[in-house]
Amino acid sequence: MSLVDVAVVIPTHNRRLMLEEALNSVLAQSFDGTIRIIVVDDCSQDDTADVIRQRYPQVNLIPLPHNVGAYAARNRAIELTNSRYVAFLDSDDLWEPDYLTIQIDALAGHDRSFCVSDVVIWRVDTKQKEVNQQQPNVQRYGSAFHHLLVGGSFICTPSSVVFPSTLFMEVGQFNESLRIAGDTDFYLRCFLAGYAPIYTKQSLVIWREHGNQLTHRKNDGLRMQERLIRAQEYYPLIAKQEAIVSLQQIQAEIYLTFAGKHCANHAFGQWLRLALQSARYFSWLYTLQQMIRQIKRLLMRDLIEKLIFRKTIFLEKIRV
């Protein structure tokens, strides 16, 4: 394969209709460099492979005989990219036409960097859209490392990141042993290797949120365990590079983060259980302070929702 400017890697599994929309958003790019599109069909049971072969002959199709998951599927394509840059696009996401142009232009002249755009989160079920500014919350966490360990990835989808291909030779590929949060693990390794993100601060990706994703709330238990394991693994390496709070506080914050999710959903038994787990790692006073804050946020949210509901009912009565 000849060297191209950017390879676009799209893993997919049983999402033929969404995949076609994603592909069309790639083909509509204004980027004037050379592009290689690689679709990894992760053993789909629909007609994905046939449709790609018939309708998109310019696409490099890698059909896998067994389902291996998104991380392993991306790795299969990385090995075949032969490009200056690698851009990932999940098959249920979409790019704005100037995505590649803006991202790659931002990387020019920066050797140890990768580029991150903002994302429009489109909640398919409710038809709601909101912009997610993809940067670490340093006011809450203090640093990108702290955010990645406790809050998980502040980059909600790999579809918003463009990497120089040389990064993979130094950092490695995605950890295929992980079922969830493999992208967070990968970003931690990028930061530890000295690669710095460039934030274009432009909403160039549409991330379609739906119930079939591993990022869905039903996977929170698995996600919490992965964060606890990751903190234990990476904390010693991070502590050598920057001043960070203790590992015990990191572990306590992870429990409290997921306790807060249960509190927000009025699942008070689960909330109390995880909050008590937090107190095993750090001080009771700290845990109690965080629990009080979570209850206050819940009460304020519920109050606002009630006021909005009453206002809506009142306005409807006036119209009648």
* Average of per-residue pLDDT across 258-274: 95
Who wins on pLDDT, 222 or 320?
A: 222
Mean of per-residue pLDDT scores for the chain = 93
> Which pLDDT belongs to residue 174?
97
Least confident of 32-36, 53-57, 206-210, 283-287: 206-210
Q: Is the pLDDT of residue 212 over 60?
A: no
Question: 144-181, pLDDT tens digit by residue?
Answer: 999 999 999 999 999 999 999 999 999 999 999 988 89
Which pTM was predicted? 0.91
Contact 251, 228 (CB under 8 A): yes
Cα→Cα distances 276→16, 17, 290, 300, Å: 45, 45, 12, 23
Question: 114-133, pLDDT tens digit by residue?
Answer: 999 999 999 878 888 999 99
* Average of per-residue pLDDT across 185-210: 95
Least confident of 66-80, 141-155, 200-214, 238-252: 200-214
> Which pLDDT belongs to residue 217?
62
Give the residue from 2, 185, 175 showing the smallest Cα distance to 80: 2
Strand boundaries in the chain, DSSP class E: 4-12, 35-41, 60-63, 83-88, 93-95, 113-123, 128-132, 161-164, 196-209
> Which pLDDT belongs to residue 209?
86
Q: Calculate the CA dihedral of residues 241, 244, 250, 252 and round it to 10 degrees.
A: 160
> Which pLDDT belongs to residue 216?
55
Question: 295-306, pLDDT tens digit by residue?
Answer: 999 999 989 988
Question: 23-64, pLDDT tens digit by residue?
Answer: 999 999 999 999 999 999 999 999 999 999 999 999 999 999
Contact 11, 74 (CB under 8 A): yes
* 113 Cβ neighbours under 8 A, 6+ residues apart: 107, 164, 195, 196, 197, 198
With bands split at pLDDT 50, 70 and 90, how would you rate the model's confidence at 311?
A: confident
How far separated are the first and last CA of the chain, in Å rounded?
69
